[in-house]
Chain A
Amino acid sequence: MTIAALLGNPNVGKTTLFNALTGSKQYVGNWPGVTVEKKEGFIDKSIKIVDLPGIYALDTFSNEEKISKNFLLNENVDVIINIVDASNLSRNLYLTMQLKQFKKPIILILNMIDVAEFKGIKIDFDKLSKELNVMIIPISASKGIGIDKVKMLLMSSNFLKHLDDNDYHFSSEKDTYEYIESILKKCITYSKKNIITPTEKIDKIVLNKFLAYPIFLTCLYFIFKFTFSYVGQPLSDLLDSSLNDYLVPLAENLLSNSSPWFKSLIIDGVIGGVGSVIVFLPIILSLFLGISFLEDSGYMARAAFIMDKLMRKMGLSGKAFIPMIVGFGCSVPGIMSARTLESEKDRKLTALLVPLMSCNARLPVYALFASIFFPKKQTLVVFSLYILGIALSFLVGLIFKNTIFKKDEEPFVIELPEYKMPEMKSLFIHTWDKGKGFLKKAGTLIFSISVIVWFLSNFNFSGMSDINSSFLSNIGRFINPIFIPLGFGKWQNSVSLLTGLMAKEVVVGTMGVIYGGDLSQMLKTAFTPLSAYSFLVFVLLYTPCISVIATMKKEYGLKMAAFSVFYQLILAWMVSFVIYNAGKLIF
């Protein structure tokens, strides 16, 4: 088998090419440091392609860069696919010169040919190939141009013959760059000079002293509007009413002859549990689409840039803000992407804060409660929860910095990529992929928990029982006292929170099963608007789900994982307590 390693600077399109070659759907985004783990894929079973984190040079600076370097050093790489940004060759070729020292066949892929053309950069490929003594294939990975050629070359094994025996050791960086420039001078002509690029124009506004922060908040707010007013919520309501108007009567009809317990299992357990979660699919997809758009536009690195000064107060750098935004989607990739930070302490602190960013899985809970208790102010209420999460992460960060994470500041450098219009096709493919993941979760995890909850709520040691004397109510009553001071202490709610440890959507699923019938009617009797808000705050802040705990353990060990579980439980309790009791005094 041939092993091909994809190597290149960050953000040059390695993953885009990887996806195109192998049919995978790994995450692509327009900022440096999207990929933080090695990922494998295949062409034809005989060629293994390995996607790696981007590296600027082999004198590794951050953790994820070490992964790439170690892979190259320790694995039997047959060919290096060195992908470079054709619109910025001189810096990209610096790594190429270092890669040449490994004496392995190299295929040089000039990506982003479309961008180079737009900038008026004309490259003589044949000449460049001769001068650099490598095979060159110009492509545009995101536009799908030239992918076939790469595939064909890899399958033909022609690259194995092509080895450069020259010595590429230079005495200094300056020498290397002079060598590169001398080659480029012969091969490149520039037809446009000193033009102001669209990126410069956009940055003048987006980074403007007075506009920068308002623009940032407006972007977020618009994404919420999109989710709750324009697209997500209306579709979700439609799905909900068709479920109640068609599916439930249909199931009742079909099951009219079966035994009562089976009917109850299907209607109360499965439809009540899984169904009440699935109706939120449109909301989750809308928010995901919005965040992906932001991530693929090039704005992320700017957000890191304008947030640096604030993040420094916590002893972090602006770069740590990126994992936090990623955390709005799901805390797991957020915690993973903390790998791009420079020091172990930075990474740990960021990983502890990421779960305070409200993830997609909490959205069904917010959406359900907000539509019942705050019908006219949905967007605002949900937005306030997100802001609360951000604000608390700053506060907690400050506290941790001054207690357990005392440390020096690391230098902060981040490349600011050019803005790009996100590729709609890949945006939709990706969103749909997330949707499939959600449906799978609904069909497996949420399904099984719903069945378990149904069982526990219908049985006790003496057999089938009334819900109020079931196993479940006993469990609920046992932990209930903790929640009474927070205003929502009913055993049903306590149990829902408990099952929510598996995945936060399950909170809604469990309520669907135990409250039975029309949730919006039932919940109105169980909560006041204030206790509903207190409940939402608790859901926002309490211990993240089991996959987050597992990721935390994998990345930073058991102690960190345990710590993150407990500090969040305590934080959630305290903040809900304050909000509920302060609210009671005011209203």
Chain B
Amino acid sequence: MCICDLTVGKKGYICDIQGNELLAKRLLSLGATYGTEVCIKNYAPLGDPIIISFRGFDLAIRKKDAKYIYVKEA
């Protein structure tokens, strides 16, 4: 499943990141590595983008990019 399928506040673990190469690389350097715990914190008022949280900080990202972050439910 992808991270967008998690409900707000529910935890998951990152399995894989695909899509835009630069972005995937950036997310990896930010610490979104295999097995990292991640959750969705918030949706923007118009439903997109979303705020995800891992390793203790929050990151805003669009749904269409988040679609490529695959997770395992905790």
B-binding residues in A (CB < 8 A): 56-57, 59, 61, 87-88, 90-91, 94, 172-174, 177, 200, 203-204, 207-210, 212-213, 301, 304-306, 308-309, 318, 411-416
Contact = CB atoms under 8 A, between A and B. Distances in A.
Contacts of A212: 44-45
A291 B17 CA distance: 38
B26 A59 contact: yes
A534 B28 CA distance: 53
Contacts of B36: 177
B48 A308 contact: yes
B45 A213 contact: yes
Contacts of B41: 200, 203
Contact of A88 (B49, B51, B56): B56
Contact of A173 (B22, B33, B44, B58): B33
B45 A414 contact: no
B10 interface: no
Given A308-B44, A309-B44, A174 B20 contact: no
Contacts of B62: 308, 411-412
Contacts of A174: 28, 33-35
Contacts of A88: 55-57
A204 B43 CA distance: 10
A416 B58 contact: yes
B26 A57 contact: yes
Contacts of B22: 61, 411
Contacts of A87: 56
Interface residues of B, number: 33
Contacts of A177: 31, 33, 36
Given A413-B59, A416-B59, A56 B29 contact: yes
A172 B31 CA distance: 11
10 tightest A-B CB contacts, nearest first:
A57-B29, A174-B33, A212-B45, A173-B28, A416-B58, A411-B23, A309-B46, A305-B60, A411-B65, A209-B45
Contacts of A203: 41-42, 51
Contacts of B28: 173-174
B54 to A, nearest CB: 9
A173 B29 contact: yes
Given A91-B57, A208-B45, A301-B60, A412 B65 contact: yes
B18 to A, nearest CB: 13
Given A90-B31, A318-B49, 4 more contacts: A91-B55, A172-B33, A415-B57, A416-B58
18 contacts: A57-B29, A59-B29, A172-B33, A174-B33, A203-B42, A207-B44, A209-B45, A212-B44, A213-B45, A304-B60, A305-B51, A306-B45, A308-B48, A309-B49, A412-B62, A413-B65, A416-B58, A416-B60
Contacts of A91: 30-31, 55-57
Nearest to A304: B60
